Amino acid sequence: VVEQCGPAVLRIDTEQKVEDAGEADLLALLFGLRPEDAKKEQKRRGHGSGFCIDPSGVVLTNAHVVRGADRVTVTFPGIPQPMEADLLESDEVLDVAALRVKGVASKALPCVRLGSAQTVKTGDWAIVVGNPLGLNNTCTLGIISSMDRSSGEAGLDWLRHPLLQTDAAVNQGNSGGPMLNEQGEVVGMISMRAMFGEGIGFAIPIDSVATCLPSLLQRRKVPRAYLGIKMTTLTPEECDQEGLPLDTQGALISTVLPDSPASAAGLLVGDIIVEADRSRVRRADHVQSLVNRAQVGAKITLKVKRHDRAINVDVVAEDVRQIRERAEAAAKTRGEDAKRRGGPQRIIIMR
């Protein structure tokens, strides 16, 4: 498997221009320079892994590997000379980025086959190939420890998708590399490892990556359905407070954001989501997974418990970027109004 797929697993090196503000302040103090004149530009370097999925030079990696980079180069195992690469687009929510290697029109690059995480199960072999700690072309072997590890359980609340867990060795520099099955197909993209503990690494299921590929390859942002609620998994203590049976399962709404689809639909703080589109909700990430799969504009029916009754609420998902743009436009308008009135300007932009 490694002989077959290894040539398509590449090293990614990045450079980012940064200004050393601390050194600039010191030079300004010693030599009487203005801080802006004393600023010294430096280059911050990083590296990670990636894999080629098309002979024309399409490469996938993690968004955090290339975030903020001014220059990206890739190095294939069989091609010692690094090659420049352009960022096509990235998706921070999924932590995936697509690159295109420059100047490969006259030659076909080695590539891997994309499989499906649905074809593997807990206990199956997992092969991880990448460039950990700068050690190029490193292969580690383990098993798939969990098929559906929620990002909340992994301590990664900012991610909005389930993860594959593996005990194959994963270290800094493995990010963006492939997790392979026994047939040499990519079933996951290595994303990170547990900060504390050994033998706990996480990969993004390749099925999730495939859903956003059409947008990334066309240099378009990936549409993201959004309801505008924050949830926690219902605990026995909360059930006791609400007078519910202690074994009640669901997602407790802790926040309903203003001017959001959830607010427009009438959802309230304290509502307990017990069903989503007729599927039973056991944990908060069950609802999040449903929203992740939903199309922008889709109607999602939530069955919620509110006090002593159950009601159905239809919520129409909106694109999170459109909501953000409206919030920023409204904040700008408020700022301009305040400026015209001569009062203090307070601009709050939702992120």
The helix (H) or strand (E) run that includes residue 265 is helix 261-265
Please, is 251 exposed, middle or buried when counting C-beta atoms within 10 Å of its C-beta (0-12, 13-18, 19+)? buried
Query: Annotated catalytic, 64?
Result: yes
For residues 37 and 14, what is the distance between their CA atoms, to the nearest angstrom? 27
Query: Which one of 49, 145, 150, 175 is the catalytic residue?
Result: 175
Query: Which one of 13, 91, 95, 285 is the catalytic residue?
Result: 95
Among positive and negative, which fits the CA dihedral 285, 351, 300, 313? positive
Query: Annotated catalytic, 151?
Result: no
Q: Which residues of 225-239 are buried (b: 16+ CB within 10 A; e: fewer)?
A: bbbbbebebbeeebb
Query: Which one of 47, 64, 161, 286 is the catalytic residue?
Result: 64
H helices present in 113-260, as ranges: 206-217, 236-242
The helix (H) or strand (E) run that includes residue 61 is strand 58-61
The CA–CA distances, whole Å, from 90 to 50, 62, 135, 270 equal 14, 8, 26, 35
Q: Which residues are catalytic?
A: 64, 95, 175
